[in-house]
Amino acid sequence: MTSLLEEFEQVGRDLYAAGLVSSHGGNMSVRQREGLIITSHGSPLGHLAQGDLVEVRPGLEPRVEPSIDLALHQAIYAAAREAEAVVHAHPRHAIALSLVGKEIRPQDLEGQHYLGVVPVVPGGDNVAQALADALRQHRIVVMAGHGSYACGESLWQALQWTSVLEESAEVLWLLQALRHKT
Ligand SMILES: [Zn+2]
């Protein structure tokens, strides 16, 4: 059985290798009985080590600075009861599409099957609550012009929704290019 650190390391490596995050972009967390374990601020997801994970729970002073998205992750766990893990990435085609529409509608079979419609939530003061609310109904949501937030029963599952979204977004972009040509 893989340890939690191994899961963080392997999923982070895959996110980076697939170009779903830049060298120090994105963040990930896993729910704990009383709080969560999250990647530290500015940690390189492709090269995580034990020191890059921070436990955050009531009464415990975090050892290192948690990701600046901590409040977002906490809001997601509070709203989406079945979420056990959250992955935030910067999938480039999905980000581009988030700047031109209020939702992303996959046209490929896998995207339609796993994701259905992917909401785009505008940034701003209420973004944490808006994202968390959207994740009650959807596996993945995109913050406009920023990136995706996926929740799942494990980091692996949240990675899956993230990579399915980016594949669908790239297909949508290619489709758009083809339609302009014909
Ligand atoms: Zn981000």
Q: Can you give the residue ranges of every domain in the chain?
A: 4-181
Give the model confidence (pLDDT) of 35-76 as tens digits. Answer: 999 999 999 999 999 999 999 999 999 989 999 999 999 999
Give the model confidence (pLDDT) of 2-11 as tens digits. Answer: 699 999 999 9
Quote the ligand 1 centre to 59 CA distance (angstroms). 27
Quote the ligand 1 centre to 89 CA distance (angstroms). 6
Q: Are 32 and 26 in contact, with CB atoms under 8 Å apart?
A: no
Give the model confidence (pLDDT) of 99-139 as tens digits. Answer: 999 999 999 999 999 999 999 999 988 999 999 999 999 99
Over the range 126-138, which residues count as b (16 or more CB within 10 Å of their CB) and which as e? ebbebbbbbbeeb
Quote the ligand 1 centre to 66 CA distance (angstroms). 14
Quote the ligand 1 centre to 37 CA distance (angstroms). 17
Note the pTM of the prediction, 2 decimals.
0.96
Angle between helices 127-137 and 70-79 (to 10 degrees): 40
For 86, other C-beta atoms within 10 Å of its C-beta total 27
Quote the ligand 1 centre to 21 CA distance (angstroms). 8
Quote the ligand 1 centre to 49 CA distance (angstroms). 20
CATH superfamily of 4-181: Class II aldolase/adducin N-terminal domain (3.40.225.10)
Quote the ligand 1 centre to 129 CA distance (angstroms). 16
Quote the ligand 1 centre to 145 CA distance (angstroms). 10
Residues whose CB is less than 8 angstroms from the CB of residue 176 and which lie 6 or more positions away in sequence, other chains included:
none
Q: Are 143 and 98 in contact, with CB atoms under 8 Å apart?
A: yes
Q: Is the pLDDT of residue 1 over 60?
A: no
